[in-house]
Structure 1
Amino acid sequence: MAIFSNISLLITHYNRTASLERLLNSFVDIDISFGEIVVSDDGSKPENLRLLTDLQTKFDFKLVSTPINKGLGNNINKGQKAVSKPLTLYVQEDFIPCGDFLNYLTQAEEIMIAKPELDIIRFYAYFKYPYLKPYKNGFSEMIFKLWYPGYKKFYMYSDHPHLRRSNFLEKFGYYTEGVKGDVTEYNMMMSFLKNRGKGMFHQHYRTIFNQENSSAEPSTMKRDFWRESNNPLIKLMRHGYRHLKFNIDYLK
């Protein structure tokens, strides 16, 4: 078994204990172990908490909980504060690493050690980051310049699976609490850019992890209709709005 003693696995969880167990088992299946595992629970139902206790006995993780649901921002903040290793692999419970993940993680850890200026290495995304400078082994440095065309250049950070330094909150601030999850993610994205965050992106960003939501445990992230609609007019309005908003918010 490959032991990543300098990496904490941080998993955020809310009422999807079967998905959490599947994720933890998947790391066992590909023979990966971590310096520690931290599960941050966002006030799950009593029946899920009982299952969490059983899983804690099986997988020996540190459970950080809260009596009531406080949202994504609080869940990540308290989980990250509980981490004790220098690097954090952040994964939400509905993801599963692929069989070659050991190689990707080994290379990513080596890169983080060799390049101390790096803050994050991303393993998953819905689309390819548009401005990349090739490094090696499929990893590329993400380049952000305000004058580059398009709004997708702003997406240097996302909550999808990534390896980051555990002092992340010290450099970029705490995640916004008390707001919707997509607002929390957006605010951290802007903080990452404004604080000159540096990161890498892998060319196999859709095959390093798989995201799986079952009908029994569907995604808990609810987005507004206009964010998901494929109506051509709504898509055009959405792209125009994002381009304007992202630029204004960055310049504030």
Structure 2
Amino acid sequence: MPTHFPTITLLITHYNRSRSLERLLQAFQQQDISFGDIVVSDDGSKPEHQERLKQIAPAYGFRLITTPQNRGLGNNINKGQDAVTSPYTLYVQEDFDPKPGYAEHLTDAIEIMDERADVDVVRFYAYFKYPYLKPFRKGFSEMVFKIWYPGYRKFHVYSDHPHLRRTSFFQKFGRYAEGLKGDRTEFLMNLSFIKKKGKAMFYEDFKGLFDQLNTSDEPSTMTNTRSDLKQSNNPVIVLIRAIYRNVKHTWEVLF
């Protein structure tokens, strides 16, 4: 059964992964999910990918926002969001695909946001379950942040993984930092979200709505620059790292 979301713009950020982008758009089409608008924000991809985007744009009905050179994640999201005019934005990076039945959960999410003016974001995917959740309805829970709660994972309130947000997001939380590595750009927005008392809903089956797909011909464009210490599974190092993150992030939130 076709499902149309006239008040939502699908915003997709893209860089050198035109096949992945097309697969994502096909997944929405196959589920008969359509939107008021679709914006693809490209971050200065190679000519062959830009050409492919231009070729498929008419078939999928998206507006292509480009830049002459790569300017990073922050700029790519900023210019894409600037092009959105609908009340809501569904933000998805090109390497995610919605699983079957997604329309039902997106309908639930927008009903929550229509009902709850205090909710800024509804999150659909995460690498781990947020530790402090207050059940709401239909699998969604309110994320509860208190600075005194234990553990550094409490700081991960915002994420650039697939989520629905109000298009007025920048007015409350500011724009994404530009010229920085992607993980730092994301964390600075997360910090702003916490400081300005953003409120988010979290789908508890956090890997049940989207698949993150990295194929061999179009692998992840995020290069791994983390040191061995940051990735070590040694129990002592893991404990020290957790304590350090908790202290560091507490300081950043408070000061």
Structure 2 length as normaliser, TM-score?
A: 0.96
Provide the secondary structure at the position in 2 that maps to 1:11.
Answer: strand
Stretches of structure 1 that go unaligned for 5 or more consecutive residues are: none
How much does 1:207 deviate? 1.2
Provide the secondary structure at the position in 2 that maps to 1:34.
Answer: strand
2:243 & 2:214 partners in 1: Cα distance?
Answer: 31
CA contact (8 A) 2:39 2:83 kept: yes
Partner of 1:147: 148
Partner of 2:100: 99
Moved over 4 A (4+): none
Partner of 1:114: 115
| Structure 1 residues 240 and 19: alpha-carbon distance in aligned structure 2, compared to 1, 3 A threshold | same
Partner of 1:83: 84
2:80 & 2:249 partners in 1: Cα distance?
Answer: 28
User: Per-residue displacement from partner, 1:112-159 (whole Å, max 9, x unpaired)?
Assistant: 000011100000000111111111111110011101111111111001
How much does 1:231 deviate? 3.7
CA contact (8 A) 2:151 2:242 kept: no
Provide the secondary structure at the position in 2 that maps to 1:88.
Answer: strand
Partner of 1:164: 165
User: Match of 1:178, as an amino acid?
Assistant: G
Structure 1 length as normaliser, TM-score?
A: 0.98
Partner of 1:194: 195
| Structure 1 residues 155 and 138: alpha-carbon distance in aligned structure 2, compared to 1, 3 A threshold | same
User: Match of 1:43, as an amino acid?
Assistant: G
1:22 & 1:229 partners in 2: Cα distance?
Answer: 34
User: Per-residue displacement from partner, 1:177-209 (whole Å, max 9, x unpaired)?
Assistant: 000000000100000000000010011111110
Partner of 2:254: 251
The question of 1:40 aligning with 2:41 is answered: yes
Partner of 1:232: 235
User: Per-residue displacement from partner, 1:32-54 (whole Å, max 9, x unpaired)?
Assistant: 00000000000001111100101
Partner of 1:210: 211
Partner of 1:10: 11
Task: Tell me which moved more, 67-76 or 241-250.
Answer: 241-250
2:45 & 2:11 partners in 1: Cα distance?
Answer: 17
How much does 1:98 deviate? 0.6
When the two chains are superposed, the root-mean-square deviation of aligned CA atoms in Å is 1.0
2:84 & 2:230 partners in 1: Cα distance?
Answer: 33
1:199 & 1:161 partners in 2: Cα distance?
Answer: 13
1:243 & 1:45 partners in 2: Cα distance?
Answer: 40
1:126 & 1:12 partners in 2: Cα distance?
Answer: 19
- Percent identical across equivalent pairs? 57
How much does 1:232 deviate? 3.3
